[in-house]
Amino acid sequence: MNSSVSHLEPGTWKSLDEVVHEPGFSDHAMRVIQRVPAALDDGEVLDVLHHAKGVFGADVAVFVSFIRDDESRESFRFIVAADPRWCLTYQAKSWFSNDAWLLYAAANSQPTSDTHIPLRTKGQREAREVAAEHGAVSAYIVPAPAGGGLSRLGVLVLGSRIPGYFDSPAAGAIKILARSLSMELHEWWVRQIRQEVIARNRLTDDDLQLLRFEREGKSTKEIADLLSVSGVSIDSRFQRLNAKFSTPNRKAAARLAAEYGLI
């Protein structure tokens, strides 16, 4: 790995310090970030990520979302403003459970340069090398703290071909903006998942209300009294919900609904 920028043509790159001191930098970044909530689909979010990458002077940007449905099922989604072959290698090597950056994001909320994240295993070092090969010689890891605990996680990775780019003191100037972007991206993705789950399972408002009651620990009798229906009716409705979610019981269905942010 090059330890200098001599391989880059002079005048073709700017330091992070120069980028953040450009007139209107913060305003421009905020305008880009504010596009996320209004994005209608993946393509628009991807477009925002491309623009954000440019605003921060980065060469690559990837946003990773992780959601755990239950003990047996989980999903990873990558929005990639970079060479997507990076993600193919990542998946082929099954680095998900041992990724140093994801592990950092699972335990920390502060954005950080990758140099502050120790690489403890051969797999982690290999993953780091592959990231550098795909444009993240220097990387800024930005967790998106989410209310789902370890069952929902979002991480923004900004990468630069310039060694030490994100080790600059100027990284402090992008910390809040990068975190805002990461959180908006994560919230957008959670909303998408929520809509997909509702549509796929044909969930109604009554279904969601029932799941909330279950999540609150209410008994069948309490729910029946609140809704002025029989306990048999409540049990029957929960059975239908279990079938929709493919869960063994109402508690699991309610937990799944909570994990997806439905309740």
120 binds other proteins (CB under 8 A): no
Q: Give the one residue of 78, 175, 208, 242 binding other proteins; rule: CB under 8 A.
A: 78
Stretch that binds other proteins, among 15-23, 36-44, 206-214, 243-251 (CB under 8 A): 36-44
94 binds other proteins (CB under 8 A): yes
80 binds other proteins (CB under 8 A): yes
CB of 179 vs other proteins, minimal distance in Å: 22
Residue 3 or residue 97: which is nearer to other proteins going by CB? 97
Stretch that binds other proteins, among 7-15, 74-82, 110-118, 153-161 (CB under 8 A): 74-82
Residue 69 or residue 207: which is nearer to other proteins going by CB? 69
Cα angle for residues 229, 235, 240 (degrees, 5° grid): 110
Residue 257 in tokens: 């609904």
85 binds other proteins (CB under 8 A): yes
207 binds other proteins (CB under 8 A): no
74 binds other proteins (CB under 8 A): yes
43 binds other proteins (CB under 8 A): yes
Stretch that binds other proteins, among 95-103, 164-172, 191-199, 234-242 (CB under 8 A): 95-103
98 binds other proteins (CB under 8 A): yes
Count interface residues toward other proteins (CB under 8 A): 31
92 binds other proteins (CB under 8 A): yes
- Bridge-based pairing of strands 60-68 and 152-160 is antiparallel
Stretch that binds other proteins, among 68-76, 106-114, 143-151, 222-230 (CB under 8 A): 68-76
54 binds other proteins (CB under 8 A): no
Tell me how far CA of residue 141 lies from CA of 37, 67, 121, 165, in angstroms: 21, 18, 19, 13
- Distance CA(99)–CA(113), nearest Å, equals 15
Judged by the rule CB under 8 A, the positions of this chain that interact with other proteins are 37-38, 42-43, 46-47, 50, 69, 72-82, 84-85, 87-89, 91-92, 94-98
